[in-house]
Structure 1
Amino acid sequence: MKHQLRSVTNLASSAKNETAEVPSTRWWESYLVRYFIGFIVGCTCIVVFGLQTGTFDRLINHLSTTNASNGKPDWSAITALVAILGLGFCYIASTPITVLHAGRYRKGWLDGHSRHFWFAWISLCIIVLAFGGIKIIGNRPTCEWLAVAFSCVLMFATLIKNDNPIEKTHPRLVFPLFTFIWLLFFWGAVGRIFGYLGQGLSESAQRWWILSMPAFWILVGQYTVLYRLLHEKEAFFSFYAKLFKARRMKNARDVRDTYTHLREHSNSVFIVVIELALLALFMAISSSISSNKGKIIPNESLGALVVFGLVVWMVPTVFMWARANSLEVEFSDNPKSYLE
């Protein structure tokens, strides 16, 4: 009996030694260091939105010391509150990254067009910010509808050309083509949305809506990945089985460190971009209400709209808990598929 216990202990010890990783001593690899910039930007977004809506001024008045004769605000309480809200904003903004990371097992249509979205969005932002908007002489609503229709036809024609148009098209041709398509679609769709909301939107409100487009793209990407995860369990399990085997190969740590560092450092920048897009979305809603005096969205409904939007934003991440559990069950039922 003692011999069996000793054998089990030795086996567990050897397994621990084989799988144990040497702790990193490089301080710049810490999550705290890499995501600290997201916290700073989150606090800045909270302050900017608070100043835009007047909430920050009311907060200062509320937290002003009543005992002091000069009525100075309690800056320590204000700083603590901004830090807490900034940290929460940073965390909420980063939740889609978990969903997008879970969908890495295969490249879908949205992933293939992601770079075209970003290039087109940057081009549109440069045009809008440089020229103050896109001015077209003639019947603007008709031109916007034609832009949406023409861009959709071009996109459809490109997709049905072959099964994998992105990889089979020369890069020098695909980037200008899709940038042109997305520019037409963005301009037409945004113009039509403005038309439905009302003609009283200011130029600043329109610019904020354009700057907030990445938030909608990321939201669509979340639900696209979620749909794939719910309908492609076998592909999900197969990917992790191959990944775990590859990680156990000799000298795999060097490869893993390379792509992990690239991904994690880019994630910290990605969080900042998402935070700025969400700030632009909140500023767009606030500017739309201000320019239309609450006709588009009643002031009393703004809080409920923001809460509803945040719930829709975070719901896909909740399903990742179930995906993790399913992976755990699959691993317990078929350990050899993952370790041998």
Structure 2
Amino acid sequence: MEKREVFFVIGVLLILILGVIRAENFEDDEFNKGIEFSEIGNIIAKSGERKTLSLEVKNNGKFFLNRCRLIFRGETKNWFYSNLVKGIAPGENTDYIFDLRVPEKIDVGDYYGNLEVSCSETSENQSIVVSVIENLRVINIISVKQTEKGLKAEYSFDNSNFIDNNVLVSGWLVDDRGTEINRVSDSFKSDKKIVKRVFVMEIPEDSKGIHTFYIGINSDEESAVKENVIIGDTQTTGMVIGGMAVKKVIGYTIFIIIITIGIFFIFRDSWNKGIQYKKDLTLGRVRWLRKNLNNLINKNDSVNDIQISLRKD
């Protein structure tokens, strides 16, 4: 093989090697620009309803991503609103808050769209579905009571207007301070009928007093139904509630007594001032009469003196 051919082969090999290295670097750069974000899933809403939702976005690359924002497309693009634009550092997680506003008087059904997280360097997207249901109460609580196994909640679910075939209903218990005690889920297939379901929830031994039990679709607190339930010893709880009522009655009674005493003193002062005013007025009139009488008497004495003098003359 001649030298010219050897150099040609070496040159070709160098070009191939450089091409492979460049391709690998290009793939690494593309990978380093990647972003990932949480799945929104199926959004259940009613016509005219407004919701505030959140999307967690992460920069899993090695470079800073500039001017990242949310872009909505499809038939639901005008239902969503977000004006947040920000940069995301490598490895950083950030939450994008956006609003959903379902139009008024819209037909029941599934509406499809697309959500894109768009940065100057890269972008990712996912499909979203908004299921619009009728403004009817889908869940009704039949009974909630404490048993030996825990809290037993029986409810009915109306499948006739529910769109999704897979139903996920959540139940959670909240104490009087607003602290969530426990949460359970109930999943089943929709058969377009009204069905009755039962929750059984474990309750901590130290839980006592008035609690609130919520039942909602997909843990949606806004559309959840609720019912108050007394947890623990009902007799003790009744005594506590009775004691609270007695304390309120005593407090109201003391308040009324204080107000009554205040009104009494106000009227008494006004009455005393009125009497004193009448006394002062009467005394003034007496003094005025006495003064005028004295003047008349003095005038009469002067007239008599003049008459006596004239007679002597």
Q: TM-score range by the shorter chain?
A: under 0.3
Question: Which structure carries more relative contact order (alpha carbon 8 Å, separation 6+)?
Answer: 1
TM-score normalised by length of structure 2: 0.21
Q: Which has the larger radius of gyration?
A: 2
* Structure with the bigger percentage of strand: 2
